[in-house]
Amino acid sequence: MGSRVIVLKGIDPYHTTIKGLQNFPLPNLKGRRVLIKPNAARLALPGEGVTTHPGVVEAAIDHLNEKGAGEITIGESCIFGVDVEQAFQATGMREVSERKGIELIDLDQVAPMEINVPGGKTLKRIRVPSILKKIDYIISIPVMKTHMHTRVTLSIKNMKGLLWRREKARLHQLRCERKVAQGDKALDLAISDMASVLFPDLAIIDGTTGLEGMGPAYGMKKEAGLIVLGNNPVSADAVAARLMGFYPEEIPHLRLLGERGLGEIQLSNISIEPKYFLKWETHFEPPPFQFSFSLPDVVVHDEGSCSACLSTLFVLLHRYKDLLASHRLGDDKIHIGIGKYLENIPEGTLLIGNCANKVKERGIFVKGCPPVSSEVLKSLRKCVSQGLFQNS
């Protein structure tokens, strides 16, 4: 069966999704066990564009029940530092699961299992929750968002939440030889490796309210009023990316997946309904490639960081940058380091997160995975009050 994508425009997340599903042929799911994977990994309310709207998940559950699907489970794992139950409550997933009598599980609390990644360029095996052995059909329900590491985060990137605990951070910390990377980032290669074995059967992309700019958490919400459904998640992501104003071939992990034959990204080769879908294109502000784009007096040394520490850094700079002014080094710039592979950094660099531990003697080290921005400020003030590193 070829790649088929349906795009719908609407205001109400539930009714727009139901309308799409009623016009989208699904395989026979009678008695089959279904896992719904939303994006509910952060403390965010519905409609903020950070997490999947619960109305979209509820519509999927109702349609699955109508089609006689067997056991339905909602599964998610949160980013480091987020209380799972608080996130489930805030995002509305707990309410939906209780009202519909559907199990909602923290995937990080399930025993892990290891699966091989045949032909992986950066990953040879990954750890995932063992519940996947019991699942027959996976539905990825992400939010339409930009992402500071991967440009967009859609149904394929959403599968990263199926990695068990520290495996999520490991994808950000991988390195590969230049001849293997061929100009691509290790993270994009890792996502394409992961998707080769964690491939959802259906994509329902929630673009009712998305996020632009500094995604996946600290951008600006974008009222797009869109739902995108696809029987191939790579093709669904390609269409969604184009609706966001990006060309699919410019999204490295989508291009890599297309090259691996896992999905079509050339829109002319995808069956897309309606034919006039591009009239609903709405430009999403892309994520900045580097902080110095808007903060020229800040130098960020980023070698192998994950989204959690990068998000902490964003909050720190955009809320408290003025309080960092006393920490300028000899070049009159504020130096901040994040990531596992930091090496050549100037003495006095502000080092954020546990991964920077190995170079902590070179600056002000703030532990945490990730630390909150208030702890970063607290550590900085303590060192400055003691006369350490100031104007080094």
Q: Is the pLDDT of residue 307 over 90?
A: no
Q: Evaluate whether residue 25 is within a structural domain.
A: yes
Q: Evaluate whether residue 345 is within a structural domain.
A: yes
pLDDT tens, residue by residue, 46-55 = 999 999 999 9
pLDDT tens, residue by residue, 33-43 = 999 999 999 99
Average pLDDT over every residue of 379-385: 71
* Token pair for 290: 């580097």
**Domain termination site, one of 245, 280, 315:** 280
Instruction: Indicate if 105 and 168 belong to the same structural domain.
Output: yes
Q: What confidence score (pLDDT) does residue 263 get?
A: 97
pLDDT tens, residue by residue, 73-88 = 999 998 877 899 999 9
What is the percent of the chain where pLDDT is above 70? 95
H helix or E strand, kind and range, residue 187:
helix 186-195
Q: Evaluate whether residue 391 is within a structural domain.
A: no
Q: Which of 60-64, 140-144, 287-291 has the lowest mean pLDDT?
A: 287-291
Give the model's confidence band at 386: pLDDT under 50 very low, under 70 low, under 90 confident, else very high.
low
Q: What is the CATH number of the domain that holds 209?
A: 3.40.50.11440
Q: Which of 105-109, 201-205, 311-315 has the lowest mean pLDDT?
A: 311-315
Instruction: Indicate if 32 and 128 belong to the same structural domain.
Output: yes
Instruction: Indicate if 131 and 171 belong to the same structural domain.
Output: yes
Tell me what percent of the chain is helix, strand and coil, each rounded to the nearest 5: 40, 20, 40
Q: What confidence score (pLDDT) does residue 140 get?
A: 98
Instruction: Indicate if 320 and 178 belong to the same structural domain.
Output: no
Q: What confidence score (pLDDT) does residue 82 get?
A: 85
Average pLDDT value over all residues in the chain: 91
Q: Is the pLDDT of residue 392 over 60?
A: no
Give the model's confidence band at 384: pLDDT under 50 very low, under 70 low, under 90 confident, else very high.
low
Give the model's confidence band at 158: pLDDT under 50 very low, under 70 low, under 90 confident, else very high.
very high
| Helix, strand or coil, per DSSP, at residue 342 | coil
Q: Which of 70-79, 200-209, 360-369, 377-386 has the lowest mean pLDDT?
A: 377-386
Q: Evaluate whether residue 132 is within a structural domain.
A: yes
What is the tally of structural domains in the chain?
A: 2
Q: What is the CATH number of the domain that holds 301?
A: 3.40.50
Instruction: Indicate if 253 and 151 belong to the same structural domain.
Output: yes
Question: Got the DSSP string for 102-158?
Answer: -EEEEGGGSPEEEEE-TT-SS-SEEEEEGGGGG-SEEEEE-EEEEETTTEEE-TTGG
CA within 13 Å, CB half, 59: 22
**Where in the sequence is the domain holding 120, given as residue range(s)?**
4-280
Cβ atoms 47, 53 nearer than 8 A? yes
Q: What is the largest CA-CA distance in the chain?
A: 69
Q: What confidence score (pLDDT) does residue 251 get?
A: 97
Instruction: Indicate if 184 and 318 belong to the same structural domain.
Output: no
